Amino acid sequence: MKQTEVPQEGNKTLAGVKKAVYATSESGQYETVASKGWEVEEIVTSQAVEEFERLAQNALAKALNKETSILEYHMFKNRMDLSLLSQTTGFFKWTIKRDFKVETFAKISDKRALVYAEVMGISLAELRTVPNR
Pairwise CA distance, residues 85 & 71, whole Å: 11
Domains belonging to the chain, first-starting first, are 3-37 (no CATH), 48-128 (1.10.260)
Q: What's the mean pLDDT in 32-51?
A: 86
Question: Is 71:127 a contact under the CB 8 Å cutoff?
Answer: yes
Q: How does residue 54 score in pLDDT terms, banded at 50, 70 and 90?
A: very high
pLDDT on residue 116: 98
Alpha-carbon torsion (93, 98, 101, 102), positive or negative: negative
d(CA 56, CA 75): 8
**3-class secondary structure per residue, 23-91:** EECCCCCEEEEEECECHHHHHHHHHHHHHHHHHHHHHHHHHHCCCCCHHHHHHHHCCCCHHHHHHHHCC
- For 63-102, how does the pLDDT look when each residue is reduced to its tens digit (9 = 90+)? 999 999 999 999 999 999 999 999 999 999 999 999 999 9
- Proportion of the chain above pLDDT 70, given as a percent: 99
Instruction: Please state whether the predicted TM-score (pTM) of the whole model is above 0.85.
Output: no
Per the model's pLDDT, the better-predicted residue between 26 and 116 turns out to be: 116
How far apart are the C-alpha atoms of 51 and 72, rounded to whole Å? 14
Q: What is the pLDDT of residue 10?
A: 72
- Span 90-119, average pLDDT: 97
Q: Is the pLDDT of residue 21 over 90?
A: no
pLDDT category, 133, cuts 50, 70, 90? Answer: low
Mean pLDDT (the chain, rounded): 91
CA distance 99 to 119: 15
